[in-house]
Chain A
Amino acid sequence: MNNANQPLIFEITKPGRVGYSLPELDVPETELTEYLPTDYLRVEEPNLPEVAELDIMRHYTALSKRNHGVDSGFYPLGSCTMKYNPKINEVVARYPGLAHIHPLQDESSVQGALELLFDLQEHLIEITGMDEVTLQPAAGAHGEWTGLMMIRAFHEANGDTQRTKVIVPDSAHGTNPASATVAGLETVTVKSNENGLVDLEDLRSLVGPDTAALMLTNPNTLGLFEENILEMAEIVHGAGGKLYYDGANLNAVLSKARPGDMGFDVVHLNLHKTFTGPHGGGGPGSGPVGVKKELIPFLPKPVIVKNGDEYAFDYDRPQSIGRVKPYYGNFGINVRAYTYIRTMGPDGLQAVTENAVINANYMMRRLAEYYDLPYDRHCKHEFVLSGKRQKKLGVRTLDIAKRLLDFGYHPPTIYFPLNVEECMMIEPTETESKETLDAFIDAMIQIAKETEENPEIVQEAPHNTVIKRLDETQAARKPILKYQEA
């Protein structure tokens, strides 16, 4: 990491410097006042940087050295599936025939793109066990909202306008209840039982004629497979509700169980997790949604159709919920996911899940001696530990996370799910070697020992990072959200 503080780009600017080379203007130039009314001609110039090309490259290279990615080191961030981002995906997404095509070109001139999207849909249909897939949603939360809008439209088409409640487990991602609200639905929370699974009795008491859907991540955010899934499906379907699958954790069940076979009616996938579209520092993602037959009419439009050897967009979808995004989704991410699926094939995808689950269980067993394991059973692709024992010694989970930074690791997800005290949620993924896992385990063991023998070193961590712990309260109380000249 680069320890030298990097000035803001606005602080290294020098009037007159340029970093561009525009084509020469080869048409007559006149005063802009001839074309634009003076009120609309900008007077005060935007204060953008003025730097030469090497300045720019050095600036961003310096910034990149103050950033940790999967390529920099282990990144066991639970529920985020920080696996290796294959380089071939980046090459394919940059082919001019994929990167430089316009979404509004005549369909006949983009048959290759449509073929790719259609084939990706076919692959995702098989992988999820659903009947149809849309690639329009831009990210997981966008997919959740799209799926819930379809469920709402389905109920409304049946005259069931009173179905406004979405049941969400207490361990669910925050996007689930937020998406329900944006879809005009209300959230009801169902409890987890002592085994970390949805409490069936509580679920039974919650369903009724107002149930729109149950949203579920399976395996759940504790990394545990909801083994009562068939009973749950029966309870929800019996009450006339739909079952929604949050695909955040699909990496745990490739070739092992398909949402469609578990009774789910709608599923969204995070192509930037399981299918290696890179996370990009927060996005872009892609959140395709798969549905069972009876929900097909409600898919967002347009839908890609194949007529003989020709592909086309079908806009004639009278029951569609409408468009959820301009154009057809985050195509570039879909291209990367497609490249990945074609790289892995059926055996590869099966090995992905098996290795991811072995890695997670191995880490869990080896760490169980040093940290509390709230749910002592086989996990799937991730598991949670509790820092309760360490907390008694004055070391919080936040401190453990910060101490891991000193070892060059990105820490696990912390304080989530909300139903585990001092939670650490660890997801190693299948692309990490046993040596990497062992080294991380050793670091965790060392931190557990430090907590007992020398807690200050953990409490005051990090020690080796480019910056110490930041004052987040100050940031929120007196927000400085842009550069202001001193």
Chain B
Amino acid sequence: MTMHRYLPMTEQDQKEMLAAIGVDSVDELFQDIPEKVRFQGQYNIKKAKSETALLKELSRLASKNADLKQNVSFLGAGVYDHYIPTIVDHVISRSEFYTAYTPYQPEISQGELQAIFEFQTMICELTGMDVANSSMYDGGTALAEAAMLACGQTKRKKVLISEAVHPESREVLKTYAKGQYIEVVEIPHENGVTNLESLKAEMNDNVAAVIVQYPNFFGQIEPLKEIEPIAHQFKGLFVVSSNPLALGILTPPGSFGADIVVGDAQTFGIPSAFGGPHCGYFAVTNKLMRKVPGRLVGQTTDENGQRGFVLTLQAREQHIRRDKATSNICSNQALNALAASVAMTALGKRGVKEMASQNIHKTQYAQRVFQDNGFDIAFTGPSFNEFVVKLSKSVKEVNQKLLEKGIIGGYDLGRDYPELKNHMLIAVTELRTKEEIDNFVEELGDSHE
């Protein structure tokens, strides 16, 4: 029989166990599978490789990719190359965390439950909201769930979303909306922020939610103060998608009256990993507490009056409510929420602010160097760590040249915005040095108009 390092059963074990079961062969245990559908033989897949040989093969495969550590990246558009404190990976590598299931048995899951409780607290602190859940798949699906919550709460079937929200999040929203028969109306942007006149024109008492991103997809700071009264005028909900790092410096959406704040905590301690797993978050006002999708951890006491933590308000969830649940989410991104918690803890009150501030300063510096070298900056409002530059040729072509120099260029906005053909969205995080920024502009040479 096949012996393998993950399979401890010996031939002797098998003999004894089959005898205890009362069968003569393994095959007898599979006789309930109708012969017509019984799979014959073995899968036609690659043969097993030894540990060493597989590591070698996959390491070679990995090195075919141009990674953000060997190259210098100015690519953001929702996923960022940030400082990850070394300690993060050490904490999440504790296998008591990563080999555990959802903490349904609180007596032996206090570690995970407390860590999530701390995560919920930190997200509330950053967003200025009352309640945060234990995580969602990512920022995009969290945004779609926010729209569904708003429709359920207001009993309306239409949402307005700014075109300055991440294009892939809008696509995900549209897929979910189809499922729920929700109408999605996109509000155009003007000079890189939501066009308030267009927004006002679409507002009425059929609108369940107004959704904007802060900072938005172009890196611009949306005027939440002006948007909030429009969003609430007809008693719809105000939904803000936010990069939580930016909230170390920016007034949190909660202070502007947001009802739901969602986003992705990838900026805290989570590698880009080709787009996932990242860590969606979901925060609401107290009023919406019992409508939140996903798991919530609450504080309580045991029989001896000791403080402890449990999964709570489970009557919202699929395993209790089945087809009446507020969402179908079950697995979330717990381990990534732990990574984000560790990073937020390491950075702490001071570090989150300092890191956010560095992003602004470096981005402002980069914008000035671009302007000084004859490039047009497309949008001129206040921004966080991204800005848009107009090029004289296609972004794809430019990026291919840059890659030869070890630079991963910015995002091609023409892919999603026909009016922004040859426009590059550039992200400058705290990891980019002055020298790298100067060199980037130099390599772009005369790619301006």
Contact = CB atoms under 8 A, between A and B. Distances in A.
Interface stretch (B194-202, B231-239, B274-282, B441-449): B274-282
A282 B134 contact: yes
Contacts of B18: 358
Interface residues of B, number: 206
Interface stretch (A249-257, A389-397, A451-459): A249-257
A145 B1 CA distance: 40
Contacts of B23: 361, 378
Contacts of A13: 348
A50 B83 contact: no
B345 to A, nearest CB: 5
A458 B360 CA distance: 60
> Which of B97, B172, B408 has the most chain A CB atoms closer than 10 A to its own CB?
B97
A101 B272 contact: yes
A465 B2 CA distance: 39
B331 A283 contact: yes
A10 B121 contact: yes
> Which of B7, B77, B178, B383 has the most chain A CB atoms closer than 10 A to its own CB?
B7
Contact of B175 (A90, A322, A474): A322
Interface stretch (B34-42, B185-193, B205-213, B370-378): B34-42
A209 interface: no
Interface stretch (A237-245, A288-296, A343-351): A343-351
B93 interface: yes
B274 A365 contact: no
Contact of A36 (B47, B59, B85, B221): B221
Nearest to A25: B358
A79 to B, nearest CB: 11
A235 interface: no
Contacts of B117: 8, 481-483
A352 B3 CA distance: 10
B32 A61 contact: no
Contacts of A325: 137-138, 140-141, 172, 276
A457 to B, nearest CB: 15
Interface in A29-55: 29-30, 32, 35-37, 39-43, 45-51, 53
Contact of B382 (A40, A321, A351): A40
B332 to A, nearest CB: 4
Nearest to A474: B300
A108 B89 CA distance: 29
Interface in B93-148: 93-103, 105-112, 114-118, 120-122, 124-126, 131-132, 134-135, 137-141, 148
B287 interface: no
Interface string B297-320: 111111110111110111101111
Given A66-B111, A330-B276, A346-B42, A323 B171 contact: yes
Contacts of A432: 8
Contacts of B257: none
A430 interface: yes
A112 B434 contact: no
B126 A138 contact: no
B115 A63 contact: yes
A284 B335 contact: yes
B348 A326 contact: no
B355 interface: yes
B87 A56 contact: yes
A5 B305 CA distance: 12
Contacts of B352: 46, 48
Given A467-B302, A470-B106, A328 B273 contact: no
Contact of B36 (A64, A84, A115, A230): A230
Interface stretch (A179-187, A198-206, A442-450): A179-187
Contact of B331 (A71, A227, A282): A282
Contacts of A20: 83, 85, 346-348, 351, 355
Nearest to B174: A322
B339 to A, nearest CB: 10
A95 B61 CA distance: 10
B121 A179 contact: no
A60 B342 contact: yes
A424 to B, nearest CB: 13
Contacts of B411: 104
A312 interface: no
Given A72-B96, A175-B330, A410-B108, A106 B399 contact: yes
A401 interface: yes
A310 interface: no
A257 B39 contact: yes
Contacts of A30: 361
Given A100-B69, A326-B172, A328-B274, A88 B308 contact: no
Contact of A18 (B126, B221, B333, B351): B351
A341 interface: yes
Contacts of A72: 95-96, 99
Given A141-B318, A284-B336, A68 B62 contact: no
Interface string A375-412: 00110000000000000000000000110010000110
B419 interface: no
Nearest to A77: B101
Contacts of B47: 345-346
Interface in A60-95: 60-72, 75, 77, 80, 82-86, 88, 90-95
A431 B433 CA distance: 48
Contacts of A366: 20
Given A112-B64, A328-B276, A362-B20, A69 B141 contact: no
11 contacts: A67-B96, A104-B79, A110-B65, A112-B61, A181-B328, A357-B30, A365-B22, A467-B306, A468-B302, A470-B308, A476-B312
Q: 7 tightest A-B contacts by CB?
A: A327-B275, A345-B48, A97-B62, A103-B275, A112-B64, A280-B335, A67-B111
